[in-house]
Structure 1
Amino acid sequence: MKTIIMAGGSGSRLWPSSRSLYPKQFLAIAEQDTMLQATLARVAGLSEEGSSVICNEEHRFIVAQQAQEMGANLDSIILEPVGRNTAPAIALAAFDALESAKGAAPLLLIMAADHVVNDVPPFHSAVAKARVQAQAGKLVTFGIVPETPHTGYGYIQRGVAIDGNTEDGAYTVSRFVEKPNADTAQSYLDEGDYYWNSGMFLFAA
């Protein structure tokens, strides 16, 4: 398995602290380390194939410096000449992983550099469970149990349990929903089978 960390971004959401040349993933917002460094620390030891970071061309030296500061040995830094959102970035990472693969297509654990994960062991446990499904040929996405009817997140509706097994928390996806209005978000919370869409994935390259 290889970890792919997406560290692109325009720096517009937390202006003026976050700027186009220094977006939020390179800032220390939630803890002492920057968000990128916290992500690299979180995935340390998870991936046999190491970690790669995808970023805008103008951020490559920031990524290299922040990785070096914490002793993280990146497998590669993949540069986007122009930001084109998530799917093209993942495609770049998949092509890169396939080119450097020594055997079968590796699994790719895809995540953003600006997540905050306060409890790391359950995160590692979720990845381990997802890995079993990805090895069986499934494309896995990670949902977050919602705490509020948040209108700024997309949602995933849970389908049936894989193989009827509810213990490992693997379910089919019934549907993805874009950011809803407040009343719709509240109905999702009340129904109990909707999750915030984390934007994290695990699947074979």
Structure 2
Amino acid sequence: MKIRYGEITKDVLLMLAIAGGFAVAATSPFFLINVTRAIVRQKKYDKKYKDFKEKVLAQSLSGLNKNKIIIIKEKEGKFTVELAERGKKVVKEILFDNMQIEKQKIWDKKWRIVIFDIPERKGRQARNAMRWKLQKMGFFQLQKSVWVCPYPCEKEIQLVCEVFKINPFVNIVTAEQIYNDGNLKKYFKLY
């Protein structure tokens, strides 16, 4: 079962992944409040969470520690917070779930067409997961198993195929023209 994490918890985990962890000098076991204050001070939270309570983030950190997603250690009055192995997996899931195709400032006038034919033995679940992910990443559904994007997306599609274990059943075509592409240009705001 996949656990759903709130926006703040995701941000904390991603921050830990980028920073590799952080240390806080503290003499109190309630040091999580100090960590919370440091995180809340970031401009992102000042604007995004006006009525945000530090206690909520402290509870989130405590829950992550309890579920062995982060590791909180104390040594000589200094607390360190870092991702546990399970936390690294959670961060990968978050990054995968939030993966988007980077838009080019100037379109190269090429269409990336993702075509897949996943056999029945692989299951309906894999096909539906692929469709869901392509839709979430902003692709346009041209046909049931044909999706289009105007931006380079090969690396992202390769990762999706690896995660869903469907590499042999997916192809990416780069085309300079699609007949009657007015709807596509409108959808991607390429006019």
TM-score scaled by length of structure 2: 0.24
**Structure with the largest fraction of strand:** 1
Q: Report the structure number with the largest CA radius of gyration.
A: 2
- Higher relative contact order (CA closer than 8 Å, sequence separation 6+): 1
